[in-house]
Homo-oligomer: A and B are copies of this chain.
Amino acid sequence: MAKTDFGPPDFRELIPPVIKENYGKWKYHEVPQQGVLRHVSESGAVLHSVRMASPRLVSGDFIREISDIAEKYCDGYLRFTTRNNVEFLVSDANNVDPLLDELDDKGYLVGGIGNVISNIVHTQGWIHCKSAVTDASGITKSIMDDVKDYFTGKIALPARCRIAVACCINMCGACHCSDIAVVGIHRTPPRIDDELASKICEIPNTVASCPTGAIKPNPRTKSVTVNQEKCMMCANCTVVCPAMKIMNPAKDGVSIWVGGKVSNARTAPMFSKLAIPFLPNNAPRWPEVTDAVKHLIEVWAVNAKKGERMGEWIGRIGWERFFTLTDLPFTNQHIDDFTTAKTTFRSTTQFKF
């Protein structure tokens, strides 16, 4: 029987000596240039980290290539960030520039630090998930091609802007708390294969899976029925009951949400809010989506004060002004009707015309 339950390799054996020695003793950091972090320890020791964009979905070639680079400049030490960038951990300051040169030569992008757009956190999409309404990798690539100058710092921004992409409303990531989130959505209710349902559907679980209470057992067909007026096309029932099908290539699409954040800096974490309820699912490059994202970034960049993230900016100017400045229509879809909807109603006469 194979060895089990031994856990991952011990990180303490995979960190460079400078980290081992200065663990917990880092004193401050600076950013000598975009893409480079210079951490200084209480002991005076210095570590440079060089951050490089990654597509996240990578090949063995990529793994071997970054390993080679790490070996060449970093004694083999590197890490990934929580947003899936690669960080080369350079102990010898003299290696920083040569490393940057090599990355540049190879066409890799360096950046992602501070008030920029870092890598997009995204999900599986059609590459591996059965629930995918759209392809997260494709949208991510299309957006990042367009906004890469914000990653490399070529164009300045008022604050960091975190973009996330999810292929369905399960939102595997932090779409619900991102400055800009792109989320695949359905717009038509599930279709039920009654025949199949009567055989395989665990009806109580299916009924319970519906957030809006739209599903009722149908004793006649031994299946279930969906109240179309209550169904919010969340697809959760389709995860629980394979006899419910919701994919609808002609009608499914993409929604955009804005103003979320997770850090507690200055303001509390915030949920992202609906900005654009529907854009077409226009593979392979989703021009409507990339245009919308760029537009949102640009309106924010022009109007926000220095240091104001998307949600903080909107918090200051108000959502009514957000919709006029972005020229986006405010629709029925924007108005919440879920369980705590009433807490979103504007119970004050304070608003802007």
Interface residues of A (CB under 8 A from B): 264, 268-269, 339-340, 342-343, 347-350
- Quick check: B339 and A268 within 8 Å, CB to CB? no
- Quick check: B350 and A264 within 8 Å, CB to CB? yes
Return A236 CB to nearest CB of chain B, in Å.
Answer: 19
Which residues of B sit under 8 angstroms from A340, Cβ to Cβ? 339-340, 342-343
Return A264 CB to nearest CB of chain B, in Å.
Answer: 5
The answer, among B268, B347, B350, for a CB contact under 8 Å with A350, is B268
Which residues of B sit under 8 angstroms from A350, Cβ to Cβ? 264, 268
Which residues of B sit under 8 angstroms from A343, Cβ to Cβ? 340, 343
Q: How far is the CA of A213 from the CA of B264 in the complex (A)?
A: 37
- Quick check: B339 and A269 within 8 Å, CB to CB? no
Q: How far is the CA of A197 from the CA of B348 in the complex (A)?
A: 43
Q: How far is the CA of A269 from the CA of B348 in the complex (A)?
A: 6
Extra pairs beyond A268-B347, A340-B340 (6, CB < 8 Å): A264-B348, A264-B349, A264-B350, A268-B350, A340-B342, A343-B343
The answer, among B268, B342, B347, B348, for a CB contact under 8 Å with A348, is B268
Which residues of B sit under 8 angstroms from A347, Cβ to Cβ? 268-269
Shortest Cβ distance from A340 into B: residue: B340
Shortest Cβ distance from A268 into B: residue: B348
A–B pairs, 12, beta carbons within 8 Å: A264-B348, A264-B349, A264-B350, A268-B347, A268-B348, A268-B350, A269-B347, A269-B348, A339-B340, A340-B340, A340-B343, A343-B343
3 closest cross-chain pairs (CB), A and B: A268-B348, A264-B349, A340-B340
Q: How far is the CA of A347 from the CA of B176 in the complex (A)?
A: 14
Q: How far is the CA of A342 from the CA of B350 in the complex (A)?
A: 25
Return A51 CB to nearest CB of chain B, in Å.
Answer: 26
Return A110 CB to nearest CB of chain B, in Å.
Answer: 32
Return A64 CB to nearest CB of chain B, in Å.
Answer: 41
Return A270 CB to nearest CB of chain B, in Å.
Answer: 9
Q: How far is the CA of A339 from the CA of B342 in the complex (A)?
A: 11
Return A61 CB to nearest CB of chain B, in Å.
Answer: 42
Q: How far is the CA of A264 from the CA of B264 in the complex (A)?
A: 28
Which residues of B sit under 8 angstroms from A268, Cβ to Cβ? 347-348, 350
Which residues of B sit under 8 angstroms from A264, Cβ to Cβ? 348-350
Return A241 CB to nearest CB of chain B, in Å.
Answer: 27
Q: How far is the CA of A246 from the CA of B343 in the complex (A)?
A: 31
Shortest Cβ distance from A264 into B: residue: B349
Q: How far is the CA of A348 from the CA of B270 in the complex (A)?
A: 9
Q: How far is the CA of A264 from the CA of B348 in the complex (A)?
A: 6
Shortest Cβ distance from A339 into B: residue: B339
Which residues of B sit under 8 angstroms from A349, Cβ to Cβ? 264
Return A352 CB to nearest CB of chain B, in Å.
Answer: 14
Which residues of B sit under 8 angstroms from A342, Cβ to Cβ? 340
Q: How far is the CA of A88 from the CA of B269 in the complex (A)?
A: 53
